[in-house]
Amino acid sequence: QVQLVESGGGLVQAGDSVKLSCAASGRTFTIYFMGWFRQAPGKEREFVALISRRGNNTYYADSAKARFTISRDNNGNTVYLQMNSLQPEDTADYSCAASDLAEMTTRTGGYRCWGQGNQVTVSS
């Protein structure tokens, strides 16, 4: 399995930007498509964005479209989530996840490996 470690979260103000990173180690990074998920207090974990193995295809939740960008550096074994125009409702624990399924999915159950999570808090 691949090990995932997120970084880059913290406390920001509404309208600010944050870039999350997720460093992978262990198995070959390019066998996985990667996703970002988030979980707000009292809510279920929800899909945010995913990116294909080569990085040429991406998909976003409606809440992330036009504000968030997912990318990956396969040489550096890292996936990123650039988040712009953050709002208080974006406050959540953000996790990256890896899947080796043949077909990309937004379902949490489709991801085998998860990072520990990284808190992003947006104040109004």
Instruction: Convert the pLDDT of each residue in 83-102 to its tens digit.
Output: 999 999 999 999 999 999 99
In 3-state terms the chain splits into helix, strand, coil percentages (rounded to 5) of 5, 50, 45
Using the structure block, give the residue that is written with the tokens 């460093």.
Answer: 23
Residue with tokens 């990309």: 104
pLDDT in tens, 39-96: 999 999 999 999 999 999 999 999 999 999 999 999 999 999 999 999 999 999 999 9
Complete DSSP assignment for 24-83? EESS-GGG-EEEEEEE-TTS--EEEEEE-TTS--EEE-TTTTTTEEEEEETTTTEEEEEE
Going by pLDDT thresholds of 50, 70 and 90, the confidence category of residue 26 is confident
Q: What DSSP character marks residue 14?
A: T
Q: What angle do CA 23, 119, 84 make, to 5 degrees?
A: 80
Rounded Cα distance, 75 and 112, in Å: 22
Non-local CB neighbours of 7 within 8 Å, separated by 6+ positions:
20, 21, 22, 23, 118
